[in-house]
Structures are given as C-alpha cells and as structure tokens.
Amino acid sequence: MVFEILDKKNKSHEQVVFCLDRKVNLKAIISIHSTSLGPALGGCRMFPYETENQALEDVLRLSEAMSHKAAVAGLPLGGGKSVIIGDPDKDKTTEMLKSFGRYIESLKGKYVVSKDMGITTTDLQCVAKECNYVMGRPLRQGGIGDPSRWTAQGVFYGIQKVVKWKLKKDSLKGLRVLIQGLGAVGYNLLEFLYKEGVEIFAFDIKQEILNDVKSKFPKVHVISKNEVFSTACDIFAPCSISFVINKENLEKLQCSIVAGGANNQLHSSAMDNKLMEKGILYVPDFVINGGGLIYASSCISPKKSEDWVNKKIKDIPKTIQSICERSASENVGTAEIAVQIAKERIEHSRIGVGA
C-alpha cells in the first residue's frame, strides 16, 4: 500500500526516507519534494496518525506545498517536510528526537528541519544534538526562535486584504472570525485579531489552552468541537490539522472566507471548486502562511535584516490580491491559480529569468 501511494502521489518527489528505530519507538517519514531552488527547508510534524498511509499522504502533500510556498514567496529554497508518528504529549522522548536527528544528518543538508505542529523549539534543540541541519532552536540557545509569530503576522495581513476584496471593508472591527487550533500560530493570530476588535470564536482540543484564552481574552467565545464548522462567521481560520475542508465539513460551513495558518487545508483539489461554487473565497494556505518560512530564510547566510522580513511579509497580501483577481477573471479556483503561479516561478528560476 505504501508503494501504491508513493507511485500515485510521488511522481514529482525527489526522495522519501522512512525512519524506523525500534529502540526509541521512532517511526518517521522525511519527504523531500524538491531541491532545485535550494535546500528543502520544512517543519517536522508530530501527530498520532491512525495509519502509516495517512502519515505518508500528509508528508507528501506537505512537502510539495513547501516547494510552492518558497516559490510564491520568491525564496531560494526547495520543499521538504517530515512527520513523526505518535502523540506529542505522550510519546515524545529525547532519545527519539536524537535518533530522528541522525536520520536528518545522513541527508547532508538536502533537508533542513524546523518546527511544525506538535514540535517545539526545545524539541529542535534535542534534534540538533545529532544534526547540523536544524532551524528554529530556542533564541537563548543561539537558535532563530519560533517563527510562528511571523506566520501569524502574514495570515493577519492576508485576512485584511481579503476582507477588503470580498467584504469591501477597510477594517476588521466587528467581523466574526473562527479560529480552529490555538497553538503557536492560532494563538498569535488570535492576539492580532483581538487587538483589532474582531469578534473571535475559538476552539482547541486542549482544555488548558481554552482556559488560558478565557482568562486572558474575556471577549473570545470559546466553542465546542461540534460547533467548529456550523458556527456562522465571516472568516473561518484553520490553524491546526490537515484536510479540514472535506466534503462533510464543506456542507456545514457558514462563512464567506477561509483564511488560516494551517497547511494542507483542502482534503482534495476538488474542494477548491466546491468552495468557489458555494461563494466562499479560499485563501491558499501555502500563500497566506509563508511568513514563518520568510523569517527562517532570512536567518540563512547571507542573513537579511528585520526590515527585509517585514517587507517580504507585506508582499503576501499583494500575492493574494493577484490570485483573487486571476481567479475571478479566469473563473478558476484560487488554489489552482496559486499552484500555477508557484510552478511558473519555479520554472522561471530554473531557467534563470525572474526570481
């Protein structure tokens, strides 16, 4: 089955590495989609996948999206991603992370690991004990810190842009935004939106996070899992797991815009058209959530200034605007347009025109 998935989905991936270290309960997959524009920089996700096939499907799509993300942001990076199969709250150990680091080291810099769901900057410090190719260790250890605030900043700018485009509003004040997942990205996004007077509905599977939100942001409506897709709102902002926009959830959605930080938001490419048919504007995930990658790339030699990072992140809404315009004029889904733009930029960079 694994080989069937690889054969079907992996036609364009450069390398897929299966990591198995029984002594430390490590089961992980590293997927390198492309290194044609540079090293494949991408986060590691730790998640209790129900099957190994699900983990493989996720990592293949996540790594391809990283190639597209770097290309639309105009960064000299390839696309890669990794997943560790397990519950980050129960199964993670230092020895497991170190073993994972040895697998990454064996790739000699083709893949550079950073943070994704279920992995923290401290975890990356453990990985770095065995591996030189790590971005996102804690600042106090000499690392670049957590890029998630930059990711959330880009999502915030992107939301401002599509609110103007779709809802014809200059301000977010009073709009209703539903955030699914209040981890590193979702929590930061909540802070940005709260300051703007947005009416926020929020859900996370961790009760302690919800308690924290209730105490620090008293105006936020904390909702239950069942209410995530059925609550009427202007913007639905997925900020956690993959594939949340599927056939079932699509029927329930009551929003005008889907714009959030999560990767792999669409269960399949068919969802792109279905959202458009429903009159919902989908902001392609790998475009709106590129802020963290922009920040991480600024830390690679030759290093770039904070001004450079800010300027690049401010380009995110410009790219979103052109995707919206092209989607409207060609009557093609925004996700498809975004992939076309990414592929065009990859092709142009390969032959040395544009960047």
Q: Where on the chain is the footprint of ligand NAD (CB under 6 A)? A: 115-118, 147-148, 151, 180-186, 203-206, 209, 239-241, 261-263, 289, 292
Closest separation in Å from C-beta 186 to ligand NAD: 6
Is residue 45 classed exposed, middle or buried when 0-12, 13-18 and 19+ CB atoms within 10 A define those classes? buried
Residue 287 is classified by DSSP as: H
Tokens of 344: 């065009």
List 81, 92, 161, 312, catalytic entry = 81
Distances in Å between the Cα of 55 and the Cα atoms of 31, 49, 227, 319, 355 are: 11, 6, 27, 30, 33
> Quick one: 48 or 174, whose CB is closer to ligand NAD?
48
Q: Is the dihedral of CA 334, 171, 149, 202 positive or negative?
A: negative
Closest separation in Å from C-beta 351 to ligand NAD: 29
Closest separation in Å from C-beta 331 to ligand NAD: 29
Task: Count other Cβ atoms within 10 Å, centred on residue 79.
Answer: 32
Closest separation in Å from C-beta 240 to ligand NAD: 3
User: Taking the mean position of all CA atoms in its chain, how far away is CA 57?
Assistant: 15
Cis-peptide, bond into residue 238, ω within 30° of zero: no
> Quick one: 250 or 262, whose CB is closer to ligand NAD?
262
CA-wise closest residue to 30 among 120, 131, 129, 121 = 131
> Quick one: 178 or 276, whose CB is closer to ligand NAD?
178
Position of minimal CB gap to ligand NAD: 183
CB under 8 Å to 313, separation ≥6 — which residues? 150, 153, 154, 157, 290, 291, 294
In DSSP terms, 201 is beta-bridged to 178, 221
> Quick one: 63 or 151, whose CB is closer to ligand NAD?
151
Which amino acid would we find at residue 124? L
Q: Is 78 helix (H, G, I), strand (E, B) or coil?
A: strand
> Quick one: 152 or 198, whose CB is closer to ligand NAD?
152
CA-wise closest residue to 257 among 230, 239, 284 = 284
> Quick one: 167 or 191, whose CB is closer to ligand NAD?
191
Between CA 208 and CA 136 the distance in angstroms is 25
Closest separation in Å from C-beta 266 to ligand NAD: 12
Which amino acid would we find at residue 43? G
Between CA 122 and CA 115 the distance in angstroms is 10
Pairing status of strand 78-85 against strand 26-34: antiparallel
Closest separation in Å from C-beta 250 to ligand NAD: 17
Which amino acid would we find at residue 342? A
> Quick one: 261 or 333, whose CB is closer to ligand NAD?
261
Answer yes or no: 81 catalytic.
Answer: yes
Which residues are known catalytic residues? Answer: 81
